Amino acid sequence: MNADDPRDNIKGGAWLIADMSLNIWALSIVKALGADYAAAQVVFLRAAVGLVLLAPLIWRHRASFRPRKDMLLHLLRVTLSVITLTASFFAIARLPLALFTAVNFTRPIVTMVMAALLLRETIGTARWVAAAVALVGVLIAVNPTEVAWTSGLAALGVVILSGSGAVIATRRLRGTPQIVMMTYYTAGLAAFTAPLALWNWVPVQPGHLAPLLLIGVFAQSAQACFLRAHHHGEAGFLSILGYLSLVLSVSVGYLVFEEIPTRGFWIGAVLVVSAAAWTTFDASRARTAIHQ
């Protein structure tokens, strides 16, 4: 891919839809089988498959893997990513797909707050209001007065915090080649989860091996599609299209897992998505104004 290629939102959108579709397939398998296996075991299998798929690219771009001065920041990013993915696989096996996806849309809000606290970024009043709206939306969608507090919800809270922290670390590593970022991420997943996976290993049931390995195939392919999407498409267009993932999650949850969203969920989801969209577009406008 050439960095000077002209933007093409049709191509970018197609790649992003492929990314979302592959991700929902991977999450659906995790949801269907994840409760039977330790989350670390599923993450380890996903990472092992990912490394096999990345091996040809790692060899082709081996010159990019020179000693780096920012290894501690890479280690922090990988650690937070391991926590995020392991908690995600744990949560998705225990929560409705639609709820998992809707609450995940709070990540831009949490990232914004973390950037203010850790990177000293300035946040305007309107974006703080958006953060408050998102929080109210989550409370309505989850409906704590009727939904029992579960380990899945606790894990989802960890996902939001650690995932947002990983985004902050990634932003500090912008100059790193993409293949290096992908390799460190995938290798880190394998290295960190291997001991836990071995300690909690559950023999794979007949018929489960192929689906479990497909999690890695779908997830790693989705990552490649995501990078292609952002190479071809404009960030603002892809941000809007990205909210289609909620529709996909609701549809798969209803058709495959017989999950029927409540009215409260829809009200809360609209508030969360609206707040996340406002935060994303407001940040995009600010960057545009700076570069004009």
In the predicted model, is pLDDT for residue 290 greater than 70? no
Encode pLDDT of 161-208 as tens digits.
Answer: 898 888 778 777 767 788 888 898 899 999 999 999 999 899 988 889
Least Cα distance to 271 among 130, 118, 153 occurs for: 130
For residue 55, what pLDDT is reported? 92
Distance CA 79, CA 166 (A): 8
In the predicted model, is pLDDT for residue 247 greater than 60? yes
Residue 99 region, left (φ>0) first, then alpha (ψ -120 to 50), else beta? alpha
For residue 239, what pLDDT is reported? 65
Cα distances from 2 to residues 7, 171, 223, 234, in angstroms, run 11, 21, 18, 15
Encode pLDDT of 20-35 as tens digits.
Answer: 899 999 989 998 887 8
Distance CA 138, CA 156 (A): 12
For residue 47, what pLDDT is reported? 93
Kindly report which listed range (77-81, 100-104, 206-210) carries the lowest average pLDDT score: 100-104
Give pTM, 2 decimals. Answer: 0.76
Residue whose tokens read 């941000």: 239
- Find all residues with CB under 8 Å of 281, minimum gap 6, and list them: 236, 239
- Find all residues with CB under 8 Å of 197, minimum gap 6, and list them: 38, 40, 41, 43, 44, 45
Q: Where are the domains of the chain?
A: 98-149+262-292
Encode pLDDT of 131-155 as tens digits.
Answer: 777 777 777 776 665 556 778 888 9
